[in-house]
Amino acid sequence: MKSLKFECRLKSRVNVLRSIQSKHRFQHHCLASENSNVARTNLTPSQHVLDIWHKAEAVCFDVDCTVTVNDSLDLLAEYMGVGKEVENLTKKAMDGTLSLGQALEERLKLINCKPKDIKSFLAANPPQSRFAKGIVSLVTRLQERDVTVYLISGGFRELTLPIAEQLGIPRQQVFANRMLWQWDDETLEPSRLVGFDISEPTARNQGKPQAIAKIREAHTYSSVVMIGDGITDLEAVQVSGGADLFIGYGGVQRRAAVEKDADWYVMDFAELEAAMKCYQVAMIGSGAWACAAARMVAQNALENTSGMFDTKVKMWVYEENYEGRKLTEIINERHENPKYLPGVSLPENLVAMPDLLEVTEGADLLIFCSPHQFVRGVLKQLAGKVKKGAVAISLIKGMRVRVDGPQLISQMVERMLGIDCSVLMGANIAEGIAKEELSEAVIGYDNLDNAYVFEKVFQRPYFEVKLIPDGPGAEMCGTLKNIVALAAGFVDGLGYGPNSKAAVMRQGLSEMMNFSTRLYPSIRSETFLESCGMADLIATCYGGRNRKVAVEYASSWQAGAPQTFDALEASLLNGQKLQGVMTSDEVQEILRMKGWEQDYPLFTTINRIIHSQLDPSYVVKYKEGAGINISLHADPTVLKSGDTPPKGPRLAPLNTF
């Protein structure tokens, strides 16, 4: 669950955006009214209109002559024998020549029904017999995409709730008027219709934008669409605080005023279904984590019945030979990546391809999941060649160090490709996710609409995804925990117990938090308690590849036959890359440039152990290790625990960049 603080902050942010959007929408419709002679082309939606439709989080439907092929109150009037008289009043209300309140009052007087009349009317005219063509399919598709559907009717709840029930719309998502009844003192039952509740927003003109304003007060929707056939529906976008988009519907009643001013005018709901976004997804990377993630994406693409995702998911594989054959051929034939994720079946709709540009051609969603040292080269190939409107998400844990400061992978993607890039970070060891063990992650975002789409891409019954408005915080957590994992591996490899390991992990988390917020002051402290922070740190320090290699490094040193990290990477990781060593070098370069080495004693000591300037036992004496003055030589001698530190200048920068 989101914290109260997060909810308040998010609502505040969204409400500000809504206020701006509503103001612009209101101004747009005022200008449209003033320029009524200008030819409209709203039968074909603009890209701006399509963008709102694609990203709609809530869609509100008028009911009469939109969801149904008739007006429920008019049909009730016909059932009661006063159809013509009531129909004339309805037309005046829809054309704006009679106020909605007056029309409702006069219509009810003419109908003069009793509760038993309504029950018999509903039995004679069931909702499913009155639905407009295509409405059931459209509502179903929207609900499958997790779009919340509302009914906002100028009619009455007594007639609208059965319609909502047939469409699977909860009662709390229905806004309609309420009939008022006189109750019989003898039977204690309603006996005579005496009017309607004027406190409901739909009981008066401009009631529909008021209903939408209530919806937005209760929820954090960033985009709301109104669909209807009448003037009262069009009002939803003509009043500040209402909907972001109005789609006029003329499949039952074609009203000239509505057709003229609608943002988009359709005659068939099939047009709206056909215009729903179908996202093509491209996975850039094919290591263990990339394959585990792509497996989830392909499962969702195949199982999604709403058509939101193209069922074919393309995965870029750096071509190499495996057992005498091309790896892409083996993956596509066996539906398994035997080199990086052996024994795990991959969905048949996941297609491995060696050509990067072929994989990304036409893709709407780019998922980056390759070793971070190769990302810049990949982005250079993609620059200027990604689809317009495409967005990205990075699953990569690492950073790039430049003269002017650090650059996160998401920032690199945004700068080089000119697209929004979210991040997915968490306790995500590939093997566990591939086995469909319970796992979780966060999506750190700047653009909430894009984050919602990626949530649908990754969410699985066994993989829980949470959205947080802190991309830099999530990414820094995922990056820095690999250094702490090396420390945990040293502790385990030397045979120290859980107390020592806990102490090192706690110090590591502390330095992660301090370093991150020092570089990026906007990072939220609560991010470190999410899956991307503490949970990922715990998982990596007990089961990740960085810990695995560090254990062997410390064990080999203790046995008197030390091995290098390069040799251990080659022998233990089956072609995968060890991220912790490179990340440690990148972080240490920043610490040296800024003079922060002593502020982060664990980070500094781990980097010195990596480069054979200290022996692994200093991991539990990290303060002492960081405080030692060490002179770098071409062939440095390891300073063993208990040795007297040499005198001389402080540690010089490593020539690793």
Residues 239 and 354 in one domain: no
Does 141 fall in a domain? yes
Does 647 fall in a domain? no
Does 84 fall in a domain? yes
Residues 419 and 519 in one domain: no
Average pLDDT over residues 644-654: 38
Select from 434, 469, 504 the last residue of a domain: 469
Q: What is the pLDDT of residue 40?
A: 52
Residues 322 and 270 in one domain: no
More confident position, 110 or 36: 110
Residues 379 and 285 in one domain: yes
| pLDDT single digits (tens) 240-250 | 889 999 999 99
Tally of domains in the chain = 3
Residues 346 and 383 in one domain: yes
Give the domain extent around 592: 480-627
Does 644 fall in a domain? no
Does 585 fall in a domain? yes
Select from 229, 257, 274 the last residue of a domain: 274
Specify the CATH number for the domain of residue 458.
3.40.50.720
Using the predicted structure, report yes or no on whether residue 182 has a pLDDT greater than 80: no
The SS3 assignment for 629 reads coil
Q: Which is nearest to 482 in space by CA: 432, 536, 530?
A: 536
Does 266 fall in a domain? yes
Q: What is the pLDDT of residue 36?
A: 41
Residues 393 and 361 in one domain: yes
Select from 208, 242, 274 the last residue of a domain: 274
Place of tokens 């709901």: 269
Q: How far apart are CA 176 and CA 160, in angstroms?
A: 7
Phi-psi region of 398 (alpha: psi -120 to 50; beta: other; left: phi over 0): left
Specify the CATH number for the domain of residue 106.
3.40.50.1000
Residues 221 and 297 in one domain: no
Q: How far apart are CA 258 and CA 237, in angstroms?
A: 12
Spatial neighbors of 411 by CB under 8 A, at least 6 apart, are: 421
Catalytic residue, chosen from 55, 339, 481, 501, is 481
Does 639 fall in a domain? no
Does 632 fall in a domain? no
Residues 307 and 322 in one domain: yes
- The burial of 67, by beta-carbon neighbours within 10 Å (0-12 exposed, 13-18 middle, 19 or more buried), is given as buried
Contact at 8 Å (CB) between 304 and 143?
no
Residues 123 and 44 in one domain: yes
Using the predicted structure, report yes or no on whether residue 99 has a pLDDT greater than 60: yes
- Cα separation values, 49 from 25, 53, 224, 247, 254, Å: 12, 6, 12, 9, 21
| pLDDT single digits (tens) 498-531 | 999 999 999 999 999 999 999 999 999 999 999 9
Residues 300 and 202 in one domain: no
**Residue 481 annotated as catalytic:** yes
Contact at 8 Å (CB) between 341 and 435?
no
Specify the CATH number for the domain of residue 568.
1.10.1040.10
Residues 322 and 437 in one domain: yes
The SS3 assignment for 639 reads strand
Structure token digits, residue 386: 């990604």
Residues 311 and 232 in one domain: no
Q: What is the pLDDT of residue 191?
A: 67
